[in-house]
Amino acid sequence: MTEKSETALPTYRVAAIQMVSAPSVERNLAEAGRLIAEAARDGAQLVLLPEYFCFMGHADTDKVALRETAGAGPIQSFLSDAARRHHLWLIGGTLPVAAPEAGRVLNATFVFDPQGHEVVRYDKIHLFNFVKGDEAFDEARTIRPGTEVRGFDAPFGRVGLSVCYDLRFPELYRALGDCALVVVPSAFTYTTGHAHWETLLRARAVENQCYVLAAAQGGKHENGRRTWGHSMLIDPWGEIVAVREEGAGVVIGELNPARIAQVRQSLPALRHRVLA
């Protein structure tokens, strides 16, 4: 099913920003600002930043020192200003927000509308834990998990929010309900990304019959970590619309509501669900 029907319904231009973030908030914000501006010049109306876009430290605990209070802080101000300046929806990857207990943060996604107003916040629910050879990650040491699924209404339909490791839990995406787009800001490791990234993203698009926009960290970081990259936009049939394999840059493409309707009419799997 590769043909796309003609329609009068408007399309919507969306972009994923790929970064190779460093242990410097100032440098990362400058790079993010440059890439957001590039996406805006290319006509993007919604822009997604990657997980940890603002900071990739040398140790897991480094991000705790940079935590902001929800609703205030230089990183949140940067996101609000960028959304307003370029008059677009901006989904701010993730940034560390103060948790109730000392030594931990919430890994939070903030969404700002084209006027620069905060619309919704999502705290990453599933925390990554992986051990293989010299690679060892345990986000629970410094991150407190979120507890609620979140989304928001954009001009083209509902947008569901998720972050990185959430991608492995399809029940989260079912809980988001009927979405035109789900977003996945991420910092997948090279090992897990090479094995599973594209497969999981395409599966989430196919089973929910919606677009999936994934913004990734992609390259060799100053702290020695290597991330997989391959930021991409996938359509409701599971076809890759656009992709960037590695390095900082912009992935941009059209979200077509008619394409969603076409896929759901041809294969009404969502209506055939039996189990909640």
Active centre residues (catalytic):
51, 124, 164
- Give just the sign of the alpha carbon dihedral 175, 156, 82, 241: positive
Q: Is 158 left (phi over 0), alpha (psi -120 to 50) or beta?
A: beta
CA distance 56 to 42: 27
Query: How buried is residue 160: exposed, middle or buried, by Cβ count under 10 Å (0-12/13-18/19+)?
Result: buried
Query: Residue 70: how many CA atoms within 13 Å on its side-chain side?
Result: 16
Residue 1 identity (one-letter amino acid): M
DSSP 155-197: TTEEEEE--GGGGG-HHHHHHT-S-SEEEEEE--BHHHIIIII
Buried b (16+ CB within 10 A) or exposed e, 103-129: ebbbbbbbbbbbebebbbbbbbbbbbe
CA distance 105 to 270: 36
